[in-house]
Structure 1
Amino acid sequence: MRILISGASVAGPVLAYWLTRHGFSVTVVERAPALRKTGGHAVDLFRPAMDISEKMDVLPRIEELATGANRMTVHPESARRPVRADLTKIFSAASDRHVEIMRDDLSEIYYDATLGDVEYVFGDSITAISPDGEVRFENAAPRRFDLVVGADGLHSNVRRLVFGEESRFSTFIGAYLGVLTLPNTAGLDRELLIHVGVGRTAGMYGAPHLGDARALFLFRSERELDYHYRDVRRQKEFLREAFAGMHADVDHWLDELDRTPAFYFDSITQLRMDTWSQGRVTLVGDAGYCPGPAVGGSTTLGVVGAYVLAGELARADGDHERAFPAYERAMAEHVRASRGVALSAAKTLIPTSRLGVSGLAQGARLVSALPAGLSRAFLRLTTKSARLYNSMTIDDYPPSPAASSGRVGLGVE
């Protein structure tokens, strides 16, 4: 059975890995000419994604390339003194299994795990998908597949082709995210430096293997900003306007906007769809149920979704009419809960009042000062994300008999 996946970031390679382990033939098409190494930002893998990565035998490499952040300094705007916190205690209190890693590093690790088993087609994208499985591409000749999966992110091309324009499903939650790569002139090593004010938060961090640093900007906006997604100049202007006069550190980071080798900007948007499947096509990860970039644990959700989708297809012997609804049922509660987590996290990370600014700083101080047991109990009581990811359970999907014999389902003729 032949399955086409669009997108080679995180969910796509994870899905490809597990599909091949269940005996499916997989092709991955990626618009970029090669794996994206564009700077990116750090993402979190919580317990379920760590467990899946361990089953893939890639956990040692993930831990080797983890950012290893262990210290945080928070500068509340207009406060005299910063607050210093022990990140290792905060992370261990929030989740019993957690790693922070650069997204590009994680993508490469999952990609490498599939080499030799999966066909990758870079520098191309899907232009049409017919009900009978014929797929047309920008560059390559048309090909026929049994199933097509969109794993191509928040602005999914597959979703647009099959379900319609993104605006039908996206919900703006009132904030924007910017990330840029810049020289690590502050010498940050496993340290996160944060400046936080009402409606805006800026941070900078480095990791031993990066050789540079990342600056992260989060800011609130009551309305959606008017700009074209390729208008980088206007996006940089938004950041300058939102963070003007915050602090000398932040001014220095903004000075790098015109020199940065890598820049990312987007709204923090949730996708809310009644179904992620139509005919032979389904969606996984941010393409189907993004809870909000940088605030909702979307990387863990994407890894879990990919694992579950592959498992349900194997369990149904490739019958998508049974597998797709089972996949959606298995993921529905996780997706619903992640939306609430994202809204709560956005409120905490980008405070809406001076009290919220103070609460963020003092909460970090309190958790890092408490003994481990008490700090863990405090965070589990006060943060929805810790409760969600620590309680998330998923089925185990052993290889099916059809997979071991090399025959899963019927191919499209």
Structure 2
Amino acid sequence: MRTVLISGGGIAGPALAYGLRRHGFEVTVVERGPGLRPGGQAVDVRGVALDVIERMGLLEPARRVRTRMRGMSILDPDGKEVDRSTEATFSSGRLDSDDIELLREDLVRLVYECTRGDVEYLFGDTVTALDEDGAGVRVDFARAASRSFDLVIGADGLHSTVRRLAFGPEEGFSHHLGSYLSVFGADNFLGLEDWQVWLSDGDVGFGIMPVRGNTELRVAFGFESGPLARDADALRRIITERLASLRWEGPRLAEAARRAPDFYCDAMAQIRMDRWSRGRVALLGDAGYCPSPLSGQGTSLALVGAHVLADSLAQASGDHTAAFARYEERMRDFVALNQALATENPGGPASEASVEHAKNALSLDG
């Protein structure tokens, strides 16, 4: 049990690769994209996940690139400020917390850089078939030649290919939470300086924050909707139309969404499964237990899950069945608490007390 294929080159996959390499495993990471994916929202590293990145040697580098917000304004649909805070923001929580908020692309780069020297990365490729026998898993790829691995780990997100191949269609595990989220970048046409703005208008709303030394904006736009077809062009049209109808800055936001090269839109959904492993295949992060961005804990779950899975495999003396069972036993309650944050307060953030409890509800050395 020494060769491991990880599908997914975001945060969870490379974090697991780091842990496995430290324990002597040979690791290959396959990533559908042609390289590291740019763009994306600001993400939070909280509680026990801070201990994970500290053990990876990434705590100080993450702190150096963290966001530096001074506070936020809450606006009415006409853009008039109705409330403000210099103590907390909706995206990161309390500003005096030890938790770290940073751009997703920055964290992806940090984790990749500390693994690229001794982990094989296959960019621009994806798994197309899995065939398990008693000795391992034969994997077919879209581009690369077929190979066999002792284990396969799906860390390939909400719409995981590995999960579909090993466990069945996504519909059996995905639970729609009634809304969609779009994230895209733009020039800082609002002139924001380390200050967020949030606006809600009926069943739509957005948060805007400046990044990259206040030279750029990241816009997170949400709207209520039942399940929609996964058609990128159609979703972009829906977003631009809804943004254009807003009274405050609607046309400029719509144009930014239309032009953004890093445009992203997907359903707010959770993945809930009775088990995260089958034979020699296991799931990690969003692929197995996506909590949705509404929880604010997807990144922390990915990091903690990667550490626990690597540790479980290292201690199992070659018994992957025992390792996967230990991984699930240690992670189940932690996942449940963090997924619950997404639904505790529909339309708003979970309480500080709930977040504080959930983010620390696991010991790395347990």
User: Which TM bucket (shorter chain)?
Assistant: over 0.9
What is the SS of the residue equivalent to 2:310?
helix
CA contact (8 A) 1:6 1:152 kept: yes
Q: Which residue of 2 aligns with 1:386?
A: 356
Aligned residue pairs total: 361
Q: Which residue of 1 aligns with 2:305?
A: 305
Q: Which residue of 2 aligns with 1:274?
A: 274
Structure with more of its chain in strand, by fraction: 2
Structure with more of its chain in helix, by fraction: 1
Query: How far 1:41 moved relative to its partner?
Result: 1.1
Query: How far 1:119 moved relative to its partner?
Result: 1.0
Query: How far 1:218 moved relative to its partner?
Result: 1.1
Q: Which residue of 2 aligns with 1:265?
A: 265
The letter for the 2-side match of 1:120 is Y
Q: CA–CA distance in 1 between the matches of 2:337 and 2:55?
A: 25
- Pairing of 1:37-116 with structure 2 (within 5 A): 37=38, 39-77=39-77, 81-87=81-87, 93=94, 96-116=97-117
Gap change, CA 1:207 and 1:240, over 3 Å in 2:
closer
Which consecutive unaligned segments of at least 5 residues does structure 1 have? 350-359, 361-378, 398-413
In angstroms, what is the RMSD of aligned CA positions? 2.2
Aligned-pair identity in percent equals: 39
Gap change, CA 1:237 and 1:346, over 3 Å in 2:
farther
Q: CA–CA distance in 2 between the matches of 1:113 and 1:96?
A: 26
> Which stretch of the first structure deviates more once superposed, 147-156 or 211-220?
211-220
Query: Does residue 6 of structure 1 match 2:7?
Result: yes
Q: CA–CA distance in 2 between the matches of 1:243 and 1:49?
A: 35
Match of 2:364 among 395, 404, 412: 395
- Pairing of 1:11-410 with structure 2 (within 5 A): 11-37=12-38, 39-77=39-77, 81-87=81-87, 93=94, 96-132=97-133, 133-209=137-213, 211-221=215-225, 223-225=226-228, 227=229, 229-232=230-233, 234-243=234-243, 245-344=245-344, 346-348=346-348, 380-381=352-353, 384-389=354-359, 391-396=360-365
CA contact (8 A) 2:44 2:300 kept: yes
Query: How far 1:340 moved relative to its partner?
Result: 1.3
Q: Which residue of 2 aligns with 1:374?
A: none
Structure ranking higher on relative contact order (CA contacts 8 Å, 6+ apart):
1
Q: CA–CA distance in 2 between the matches of 1:258 and 1:88?
A: 31
Post-superposition CA distance 1:67-95 (Å, at most 9, x none): 22221011133685431211458857488
The letter for the 2-side match of 1:172 is H
Which consecutive unaligned segments of at least 5 residues does structure 2 have? none
Q: CA–CA distance in 1 between the matches of 2:223 and 2:88?
A: 26
Report the TM-score, using the length of structure 2 for normalisation.
Answer: 0.92
The letter for the 1-side match of 2:77 is E
Gap change, CA 1:150 and 1:188, over 3 Å in 2:
same
Q: CA–CA distance in 2 between the matches of 1:250 and 1:64?
A: 34
Q: CA–CA distance in 2 between the matches of 1:295 and 1:380?
A: 12
